[in-house]
Amino acid sequence: QVQLAESGGGLVQAGDSLRLSCVASGGTFVNYAMGWFRQAPGKEREFVSGISWSGSTAIYADSVQGRFTISRSNVKNTVYLQMNSLKPEDTAVYSCAARRDWPVQRDREYDYWGQGTQVTVSS
């Protein structure tokens, strides 16, 4: 059983940066691909980014490509999401998720989820 805990959210202004972290415990971290998802009020959860177990493969939603960077430390059992040039439309609860095999965009393919961290971007 893998437990995931996100941190790093907050209130920022448009154009600012934030780095989210997600620490995993209770499992072998290198066995899992990791993903970041977000959900804004009144909207469905959407894929943001994913990374393979080795970190060699990363995928992004079109809406964040070029602004967000996903990375991981298998020593620290942590996955990161560096978010630059933030926009008000990036406001959401951001959650990390884990699955075996490769990162994918479909949230139902992920087995473990964190509780999420709020990111609010003011204009």
| 62-96: pLDDT as tens digits | 999 999 999 999 999 999 999 999 999 999 999 99
pLDDT recorded at residue 21: 98
pLDDT given for residue 118 in this prediction = 98
Tokens 């972290």 locate to: 21
Closest CA to 45 of 32, 57, 61, 56: 61
pLDDT of residue 27: 86
Determine the average pLDDT of the residues in 10-20: 98
